[in-house]
Chains A and B, each alone.
Chain A
Amino acid sequence: MNTLILAIKNIFKNRRRTVITFLAITSGMTGLIVFGGYMEFTFMGLRESTIRTQLGHVQVAKKGYFEKGLANPGKYLIRESESVERVLARMPEVKLVTSRLTFSGLISTGERTLSCKGFGINVAEESAGDMNTFETVVDGQQLDESTGPGDGVVGVELMKALGAKVGDYLTLLTTTIDGTMNALEFKVVGVAETGSKEYDSVFVKLPLPFVKRLVNCNAVEKFMVLLNDTDDLGKATKRINGLLATDLQGMEYRTWSELADFYLKVERLYRGIFDIIIFIVGVIVLFSIANTITMSVFERTREIGTLRAIGTTRLGTMRLFLTEGILIGIIGGIIGVVVGIMVAYAINFSGGIYVPPPPGQNRGYLAMVLIVPQVILYAFASIVGVSALSSLYPSFKASRLKIVEALHHI
């Protein structure tokens, strides 16, 4: 107790030095909070867009599909699709269930032919559940109630490469489920952009019945289940686990995180960068607190001698300076949290940070700074940990001073 009081009094004795130390900690903390919050915003955006437009929260397919289905989708087709869809749609957490049937083949204007990847969607459900907001329609329109059964949307890069325009009729060529060739014509009603150039140069989006006709099979490959809230995922998978034994025998499921390879890679990369930044800030804080405590020990050498003479143990002496260092870390950390949150609010209030298009994408965006308790706690704990670490050595030195020599120090 007296250690704490003495430490506080000594911290505020040398105001200027303390303020400089706090400044270092506070700017470091602010940096961490803003970057961490920006990072979380990016995760959230990427996560939600990945889920809502590409993967759904949960995908359900025939057992084995997720491992071997890509090479041979014909083997894992779900023919009893309506009953499965009904079972899934009955779950209370579910917003919408849609299915996919994909194919790869060629797309042709008659003059020019390119390869493409097509997929069929349930137009009515998906447009009602805004599953297609991921893509931005740059020309024409999205597939919705107003479009016909033979209308499709094509990726912007693919359109450019084909030299086609909205309203053109294009031919799709692929092998059917039983191995014969089939060709069907569709009308381009829209051109869309997803942000990924690679994807934009291959995708063709069509109504599911059209794709069923093209590959000559009345089945789907997988179901995509979209929940009302990403936080409901645990509840939903629990329920599906129960259903696997009854209504969904012979099926399996994957959650979005098991399928979102790209998202997980991005997250790992960012977290790695965040740790490096924490490390750099940590080193700065380390030196600044170590410097403060070393100066404090030096200035108060005679006081240390006195304290030792009147009976303070070595451990007690060490504790005194250690407390001082940790306290600087804690107080500086708290100021840093407050300032960091204020800066984050200021950034959000002013409209966010403009981020230029990331590699492989063609759209920039405005990033907000999310205030995430875990990030703040992580940054705070790191700073306090560093402050303890940095005062360890000078405190130890203080406790080992020879009393007589310390008393003679001017």
Chain B
Amino acid sequence: MIELRDVTKDYRLGETTVQALRGVTLHIKEGDFVSVCGPSGSGKSTLLNLLGCLDMPTSGMVLLMEKDVADFRDSELSRLRNNTIGFIFQSFNLIPVLTSFENVEYPLLISKTGKKERKQMVARMLDEVGLSKFAKHKPDQLSGGQRQRVAIARALVTNPRVVLADEPTANLDSATGHEILELMKKMNEDHRTTFIFSTHDAKIRGYASDVYTISDGRIVQ
């Protein structure tokens, strides 16, 4: 469902070029619960950004449902991210001025989902992450774990094919981190949504059905 073919990614930093990815080939199937592991600076974020169509590879191909993402225009990529991809971030990245409900609703507003359907979908999603009671709370009135739950609800509300989570537990204590992974795993099973998350925490890695270990820009296992 998502495929990388010999992908490299270079960053230019003034005179020097950093090779963040040095030829990555991988294939992730529908419904997988995949972990990308590796030490800091190994290229995990870079990899997830490419999978999420947030960035373009320097060379090689990124295929999303058999289509080369390089062929898409920016507006088409936006639509693709809105409909088929969900994002969970390390520091939650909720919109501070919006309530939990409104944060979860936002992707549906972008896709112009009808009002009634939208409200239902958001309410159901908040219920699934156990935050129905916190619908009217703003992010700064929530704990880290609760925020990440809102983010999970936001990522899944559009019923995407794949959810990308770059170190979703790095800003949480270990107990909460486990809860979040449990929730992601449950969502993966309930919705058959593909999950790809990065971590350098060996315990968290255990939740994955597939583990890709990355080191110095290459998949080593």
Contact = CB atoms under 8 A, between A and B. Distances in A.
A6 interface: yes
Interface string A304-332: 01111111111110000000000000000
Interface string A393-404: 000000000111
B97 A311 contact: no
A303 B89 CA distance: 12
B66 to A, nearest CB: 21
Contacts of A312: 78, 82, 110
B98 interface: yes
A63 B101 CA distance: 80
Contact of B107 (A308, A310, A315): A310
A312 B82 CA distance: 8
Interface in B159-210: none
Nearest to B46: A404
A2 B81 contact: no
A23 interface: no
Given A2-B109, A403-B55, A313 B97 contact: no
A403 B156 CA distance: 20
Interface string A10-25: 1001000000000000
B24 to A, nearest CB: 17
Interface residues of B, number: 25
A54 B97 CA distance: 65
Interface in B30-73: 49, 52, 54-55
Contact of B55 (A303, A315, A404): A404
A310 B55 contact: no
B114 interface: no
- What range describes how many residues of A lie at the interface? 20 to 34
B81 A310 contact: yes
Contacts of B98: 6, 9
B54 A407 contact: yes
A117 interface: no
A311 B78 CA distance: 4
A302 interface: yes
Contact of A311 (B55, B81, B96): B81
Nearest to B84: A311
Contact of B87 (A2, A302, A309, A314): A309
Interface of A: 1-2, 6, 9-10, 13, 302-303, 305-316, 402-404, 407
Interface of B: 49, 52, 54-55, 74-75, 78-79, 81-83, 86-87, 89, 93, 95-98, 106-107, 109-111, 154
Q: Which A-B residue pairs are the 4 nearest by beta carbons?
A: A311-B82, A9-B97, A306-B93, A2-B109
23 contacts: A9-B97, A10-B97, A13-B96, A302-B93, A303-B95, A305-B93, A306-B95, A308-B78, A310-B81, A310-B82, A310-B154, A311-B81, A311-B107, A311-B110, A311-B111, A312-B78, A313-B74, A314-B78, A315-B75, A402-B55, A404-B49, A404-B55, A407-B93
